[in-house]
A = this chain, B = another copy of it.
Amino acid sequence: MSSGNLPKVVIIGGGFGGLNAAQKLAKLPVDVTVIDRKNHHTFQPLLYQVATAGLSPGEIAAPIRGVLKENNRMHVLMGEVVSFDLERKSLKLRDGSGISYDYLILAAGTTHSYFGHDEWEPLAPGLKEVEDATEIRRRILLAYELGERRAAVTGKAEPVHFVIVGGGPTGVELAGAIAEIARHTIAKDFDWIDPRQSRILLIEGGPRVLPAYPEDLSRSAERQLRNLGVDVMDNARVTSIEPGLVRVGEQAFPSTVTLWAAGVAASPLGRALGVPTDRTGRVQVNGDLSVPGHPEVFVVGDLATLLDKKTGKQLPGLAPVAIQEGRHVAKVIAQDLRKAPREEFRYLDKGTLATIGRAAAVADLGEKLHFSGFPAWFLWLFVHLMYLVGFRNRLLVFIEWAWAYLTYERSARLITGSTQLPGWTQQQNLHESNEPSVEQEHENETHAAD
């Protein structure tokens, strides 16, 4: 800690935006502190592969401290920011300590939103952090283990039902990966149940999955999903999530495992700034990514909202946007330091990719360049390996993928933590008569109202 009187830049969040800002700032005469609630950067585009047992958490996460140890002007603090005082240029951590700054870069991203139904969260976990991924993995694998045990004892095999709410990239990826697990990875691993009988239902509120993509690619994605054995339901709004059950209006779908990929809300830190935000809590930033009235405060990544100079549309919540914004803020600070005028941010759209499963993906590389299937999937693999943080992670993920491609195996089929599933008893009630089962005596669940 001997940075003397260098300008002090505080970055909140070690995701794509924060990390890229920090890496660029490392080259400037500034003192940088990155604050994150976690000790690690999570490579979110591959998080669904941890949730579906394809990769281990350690392969897609990297300690922020390890990534940023370039020089002694870079500091990392694990802590939770709770409030700001923009006038005094300071912020407060949950533990009460205060931290001051000359520049503030807020890159706190988003959290799940259950559209006012927070009671759905324990029944339908979403996917944002490593802990979410291992919890989802636990539920997917446990559903089969409990099904096998029940069938072994009762002689009655029942299909495992998955309901994924939300047809954006995460929902599509989860549905595709679960289908692959059921139809291939564990297809022959059980004796009393047949995983190939699993039902996988993807529910999308709008007219098509991947709504941010061109329509032809959405249709292609739906076709590819159906080929994998996923039922896709468009224009369907979930009205209730109960243990073992998802309701869409009058229709009730049995659900052994329900996953939430529908709603995203801005980090509450956006509103805590006290500057204008949009309806979802994202901060409306100036062209240079600073907030109105505070040129020393920037917001980047999913937490910022800004119109694309080129298309006039809102910039999407994607990793490339966050990366470019983070780097842009470092550039603006460099311009400040040498008293040059600030440049406006321009997003360079290199295209977007979404994967569905083995050899199944869609690619949107501009108006004329849409493609899907194997070439899109191959490009997706390549791009994600390239962007993955750390050479070691890249090497391990490459080996895992090559191995999985050749064997259909998934490496990280671990159930850790609780051995209970919400709705396990209730789901049974839905299908069977009301005779008490062996599970009902012991599983610690309340009974469904019906």
Chain A residues packing against B (C-beta within 8 Å): 1, 37-40, 55-59, 61, 63, 65-66, 69, 72, 75-80, 93-97, 99, 130-131, 134, 141-142, 145-146, 148-149, 152-153, 186, 188-192, 392, 395-396, 399-400, 403, 409, 411-417, 419, 438-439, 441-443
Residue with the greatest number of chain B CB neighbours at <10 A, chosen from A77, A99, A443: A77
Decide: A95 near B149, CB < 8 A? Known: A57-B56, A414-B130.
yes
Q: Which residues of B contact A97 (CB under 8 A)?
A: 149, 152-153, 438
Q: Which 3 A-B pairs have the closest CB atoms?
A: A58-B412, A56-B58, A96-B438
Closest approach, in angstroms, between the C-beta of A444 and any C-beta of chain B? 11
Q: Which residue of B lies closest to A2 (CB)?
A: B191
C-alpha gap A54/B419 in the complex (Å): 27
Q: Which residues of B contact A77 (CB under 8 A)?
A: 148-149, 152
Closest approach, in angstroms, between the C-beta of A285 and any C-beta of chain B? 29
C-alpha gap A57/B95 in the complex (Å): 31
Decide: A95 near B441, CB < 8 A? Known: A1-B191, A145-B39, A186-B65.
yes
C-alpha gap A306/B55 in the complex (Å): 42
Decide: A94 near B442, CB < 8 A? Known: A40-B414, A57-B414, A409-B392.
yes
Closest approach, in angstroms, between the C-beta of A132 and any C-beta of chain B? 10
Residue with the greatest number of chain B CB neighbours at <10 A, chosen from A69, A141, A145, A443: A145
Residue with the greatest number of chain B CB neighbours at <10 A, chosen from A95, A188, A438: A95
Closest approach, in angstroms, between the C-beta of A71 and any C-beta of chain B? 11
Residue with the greatest number of chain B CB neighbours at <10 A, chosen from A93, A97, A417: A97
Q: Which residues of B contact A96 (CB under 8 A)?
A: 438-439, 441-442
From B55, B95, B131, B149, contact of A78 by CB (8 A): B149
Contact, CB under 8 Å: B39 / A414: yes
Decide: A192 near B441, CB < 8 A? Known: A141-B39, A399-B395.
no
Closest approach, in angstroms, between the C-beta of A364 and any C-beta of chain B? 33
Contact, CB under 8 Å: A58 / B411: yes
Closest approach, in angstroms, between the C-beta of A11 and any C-beta of chain B? 15
Contact, CB under 8 Å: B188 / A63: no
Contact, CB under 8 Å: B1 / A419: no
Contact, CB under 8 Å: B145 / A57: no
Contact, CB under 8 Å: B78 / A145: yes
C-alpha gap A169/B438 in the complex (Å): 42
Q: Which residues of B contact A57 (CB under 8 A)?
A: 56, 412, 414, 416
Q: Which residues of B contact A142 (CB under 8 A)?
A: 39, 78
Q: Which residue of B lies closest to A439 (CB)?
A: B95
C-alpha gap A94/B1 in the complex (Å): 56
C-alpha gap A416/B56 in the complex (Å): 13
- Can you list 6 contacts pairing A with B, beta carbon distance less than 8 Å? A56-B59, A58-B412, A63-B414, A77-B149, A94-B442, A396-B411
C-alpha gap A99/B392 in the complex (Å): 46
From B78, B149, B186, contact of A419 by CB (8 A): B78
Contact, CB under 8 Å: A415 / B75: no
Residue with the greatest number of chain B CB neighbours at <10 A, chosen from A37, A61, A63: A63
Contact, CB under 8 Å: A131 / B441: no
